[in-house]
Each structure stands twice: as structure tokens, then as C-alpha cells.
Structure 1
């Protein structure tokens, strides 16, 4: 019988008295370790085995790496297996980081970049959710803030994006409601029309990355409002939104 990877003859099951390795497993082993199981067993260069709960051999992500042990000839070899449940948050975080790049490179009026972009996960999600519930309880925000806070607690990661409120100095615009930018400057909390446009385009670019990777998400003004109150974007006047991300069997941001 011939190996499907290295094409070398190998003994049959009856002669070698060990379980035969399927061709699909051989190819997976080769892609993982760049060496055929035949060659690994004959040269003694098989990779070290990874066992559950072996702290010295944990992968860089910190999750537990499991191994499928392949017996062939006299050698034993390991193929790492990653459990989706243990890798999920890391994968969602990586997609969120890609969203940051998509938002940053989105088109902007006059090429002026006033955006501030953050990625948040872990305990900080509880901090933001707590502020949202507080705002709803003290009538500083609609009751829907409490519902949105529960949604945030079900998220794996949070994408935050804000624009600084700064006039773009485009002549003969008047889209903000004032005659010119000098008049608008007298009202620093009123966004420039192009601030809002830039923020919307950047959000669309970001969520397209989430959609391309099949990560559930929802754009929420309530989260952005709480983030501004917490001072997450620094000093100044901002217009902000939050986009929680989740990867689960059911989208937690709809049918609320």
C-alpha cells in the first residue's frame, strides 16, 4: 500500500498490527507539521505530544490544546485540536481588531480624521453596562438603555467608535443649520454635518467586516452615550456608538 502524502510504500494493517491511518488524517498531519507520519515514525522526529491541562505546553492563546494521537508503526504522533468554545472569544477579538482597521481607512471629508476607535472586552463590558443601567434608573436615558445593557453583557467583545465634534471648514455648506463654520463654533456640542457622515461611513465599513465573518452585531447609540460619560474617549465633545459582537447559536441582539 502506498502513502497518499509521501507516496512511499507502507505495510498493510495485517503485517504491522497497528491501526491504519486514513489518508485524510495523513494530509491534516502533514499540513500541521510539514512532515508525513511515515517519515516522522522512521526518523524519530515526531512532534511532542500535547496533553490536556499540561501547563508547560499550553498554546499562546492560553486555552487547553488537545491532541489526537496517531499510532503508526512504532511511533506515536499528535495532531493539535482546538475547541471552538475555548477559542471563540479570541477569534471574535481578532475580528473586532480588523473592524478597527476598516473603520480607520474609511473615506472622510477632506481627508480629515477625527475618529477615535476602541476595542473592549472582559470586565470593562460590565463597567459600561453598569453605567447604562444607572442612566436608565436615574431617568438620564430612555428605559431601553437597561435592555441594551443586558445585550452588552451577552457580547464577546465590544467595538467602540466616536468622532470628535469639529467643524470641517467646507465653504457654502450650511448643512448643520448655521450660516457658516464660524457660527457653528459658537455651539460646540452641535456636530458638524461631516462629522456625522464620517462616523456613519466608518461604522458601515466596520460592520461589513463583522458580516463577512458571520459575527452577530448591532449598532447601539446607548453604548456610545455611556462610553462618553465614562470618559473613554478623553476630553472634548464626541458623538459615539457601540457595536457589541457575539458568536453564539442565537443572535442575542434581536428578538429582545
Structure 2
């Protein structure tokens, strides 16, 4: 018996697998003093993606028109990886010249390294992606993820990268 997997199913399954590998990469990324303050969620159901896009449109009134532009990207994405961080007490002393405390800085640097590790996996896997502040804020507002700071990484597979030729409002 020959079993054939159609293109749509193959892409859906592969994209889910890549999103899960991105979560692994973010979780295992180096962190200050080994403190794990990273939180990860994957959104891949059409209903949640649409709710995220609608929330971004609502927030555009407060944050700017680019939230509307990004909402269209979310609608056209197949999944979104949410990566956030909690600010934790790492026990560092803050230099007097710094404007924010060292624990906050290192917590946020952990987030940046985790995001970089995740998008590396997407890139290696030839999955189109973009890091978005806008969708991260909307995900927090919807309660999709419990973290102090969140960024979203929408994912898509198509013949043309939908995140590339975006126009500024």
C-alpha cells in the first residue's frame, strides 16, 4: 500500500516540528548565571492567530499603525512562536552609571539570546520568519503567555517571504 502525504499536510507537520525545535533552541540558549527566565508558547490554531491579529489592530490606536501592518502578517502566518522572559533576581550589582538595574538587563539579554537561537533554527530550516514586538504585546494582552516582556516570531512557508517587502505605514 502506497501512502502519499500531500504538500499541505507535509508543510503543516514540518512547520509544527520546526516551531517545537525553536522552543528547544530558546530553552537551551545560554543564560546569565544559568537562571532560566524564558517562557515559550506556540500558537498554531487559526482561531488564536485571528484573535491575535484582531488584538493587534485594536492596539494600533495606542501603539501605532505598524500594528495593523503586522496584523496582516499574523493572519497570513501558519504559526507564531512566542518567547518571553520574566525579570528575575540574578544577584548582580548594578553599576552606578546604568539607567536600569543589572538583573533586568541580564534578564532581557537572556531573552535576546533565546530569540536569536530560535530564529537560527527557523532559518536553517528555510522557514520564513520575523521577530515582532507588536504581536508579542498583543499575545500578552490576550493572556497567551505569562511573561514580563514578550516577542513573537511568526512562521510561514510559501514561494515568497511574506515578511520581506513590508511597507511602513
Instruction: Assess same fold via TM > 0.5.
Output: yes
Rate the CA distance shift 1:140–1:88 in 2: closer, same or farther, 3 A. Answer: same
Please say if 1:220 is aligned against 2:132: yes
* 1:52-63 → structure 2 map (5 Å cutoff): none
1:127 is aligned to 51
Superimposed CA distance per residue, residues 146-192 of structure 1 (whole angstroms, 9 cap, x where no aligned partner): 000000011111100000123422124457525x67xxxxxxxxx80
- CA–CA distance in structure 1, aligned partners of residues 98 and 41 of structure 2: 27
1:170 is aligned to 92
Pick the aligned partner of 1:150 from 69, 72, 85: 72
What SS does structure 1 have at the residue aligned with 2:161?
A: coil
Q: Tell me by how many angstroms 1:101 deviates.
A: 0.5
Please say if 1:161 is aligned against 2:83: yes
1:103 is aligned to 26
Length, aligned pairs only: 165
Q: Tell me by how many angstroms 1:85 deviates.
A: 2.1
Q: Which has the higher helix share?
A: 2
Pick the aligned partner of 1:140 from 62, 79, 92: 62
Q: Is the 8 A contact 1:132 1:226 kept in 2?
A: yes
* 1:39-50 → structure 2 map (5 Å cutoff): none
2:154 is aligned to 244
Q: For structure 1, which runs of at least 5 residues remain unmatched after alignment? A: 1-77, 182-190
What SS does structure 2 have at the residue aligned with 1:159?
A: strand
- CA–CA distance in structure 2, aligned partners of residues 239 and 124 of structure 1: 20
Larger RCO of the pair (alpha carbons < 8 Å, separation 6+): 2
2:163 is aligned to 253
Over alpha carbons, which structure has the higher Rg?
Answer: 1
Q: Is the 8 A contact 1:176 1:192 kept in 2?
A: no
Q: Is the 8 A contact 2:82 2:145 kept in 1?
A: no
- CA–CA distance in structure 1, aligned partners of residues 97 and 83 of structure 2: 23
What SS does structure 2 have at the residue aligned with 1:249?
A: coil
* CA root-mean-square deviation: 1.8
What SS does structure 2 have at the residue aligned with 1:168?
A: coil
- CA–CA distance in structure 1, aligned partners of residues 73 and 52 of structure 2: 12
Rate the CA distance shift 1:195–1:250 in 2: closer, same or farther, 3 A. Answer: same
